[in-house]
Structure 1
Amino acid sequence: MEALSRMISALVTNGFICGFQIGSLSRGITTISHLLFADDTLIMCEIDPDQLRAVKALLLCFEAVSGLKVNYDKSELVPIGEVHNLRELAGILGRKIASLPMSYLGLPLGIAPRARSIWDTVIEKVERRLAGWKRMYLSKGGWTTLIKSTLSNLPTYFLSLFPIPASVAGRLEKLQRDFLWGGLGEEFKFHLVKWEMVCCPISNGGSGIRNVRVFNRSLLGQWLWRYIKEPEALWKTVIENKYGGLGGVGVLEKLEGPLE
């Protein structure tokens, strides 16, 4: 993949394809032509048949020199904005056509980051997992362990990237509360302890179950820490070119409000 990355960069350097440019002359411009994750590759270029032919030729060369083969059945052409000659462009690469919004590496693309619909898949996973558990064979300690080891971890990926809406956080907490205090059937059971107390650390008399809102804020706060500690990271360069440079404590104050 390192060789493929250098080949794509060579196409950009020699003007065969143009990647996605972010920033301005005053802030700096970053050109992103491709992103790699394990065996998954995302290549970006303009709506130009010649550029797609260059990408096609590059992939053929890569197959010849590496002995690997591109799986076109799992490859898709995703237009951004209105594209009039989409069928012609797709015919050059021989790939399927997809559209935004879509799911990429388990995350939604083309959806507003604060939209509630992003969390539908997370809630469905939690509900499916709850439906498969036989609570009648578990003690309160067993239910607590399942919440801490499984239910609390299912939304972690999304919680580390998106601020959770209050309605979604309330829904997830309700599912956990009903599972903890529910009986063998669907009848209502009184909650013997406040949920805030249940989410307290064990050393403070709680059960150590994570509070969804606090956990979300903690995970998002790690990006502020990484912003300062990873000066050469690509994602940081993109943010600075698009929104302007921030430094030191100013990052925390601008993104999170005044420090207390």
Structure 2
Amino acid sequence: MNRRLINWTLGVGTPLLLVTAWWVLSENSTNTFFPPLSATLERFQALWLFDHFGSDVMLSLRNLVIGYALATVIGVGLGFATALVPVARWALDPLIHFLRGIPPVALVPIFISLIGFGLEMRLVSITLAAVFPTLIATVDGIRSVDSTLKDVSAVYRLSRGEKLAQVYLPAAGPQIASGMQVSLQVAFIVMIASEMLGSSQGIGAMTLLAQQSFMTSDMWAGILLLGVIGFGANLVFEVIKNKVLAWYVGSKRLARS
């Protein structure tokens, strides 16, 4: 219990300490590119809680959620097919290893050329960039399932659907969740990049416009918002993962104690 309390205190105290240091160091700043934190927070409130919340913040969050959800469904589905169906493995393995080596942000200019600057480009960019961590983690998780579990499922004559739901998915679940968490981070990065390169709306586009217009308080407010969203998304994912994989989290805690 004491260890958990210390970890929680560090997790909360470190960001508070950094924000306090930022406030103190920038309080009397006259540097155009490093405005006081108080001015940044004023612009944060004006921009992101009122003026641009519906038009830009919700748009970015919608693209992130839709793109990430599609990437998860495609990644898990193709991962199961690649790991369990020999024909799919032979057909998809070379393509997966080729595409995974391309930096996710590098895909954005390609989709701008092929699709244009619309909503479809942003969703396709987020989805295809975020699909690979989940896909690869699913393939590795399925392939690493203990052979004893496979033998037991064969003895009990489980159907293919029962094997997937009761054997493969629970056994590979922790590894799939790890891949999904990486995919979430990739989706967030590509969401910002697609807005900066190919959109006039969204948090990324507004932050870039502020930088180009030398509106530094607005730029810092956008960066602050992106940090808050990234931190919040990862926190929500951790909570859901710990609920869904409670048995796995509990076994790890017991092993450490």
User: Would you call these one fold, judging by a TM-score over 0.5?
Assistant: no
- Asked which structure has the greater CA Rg, the reply is 1
TM-score by length of 1: 0.26
TM-score by length of 2: 0.26
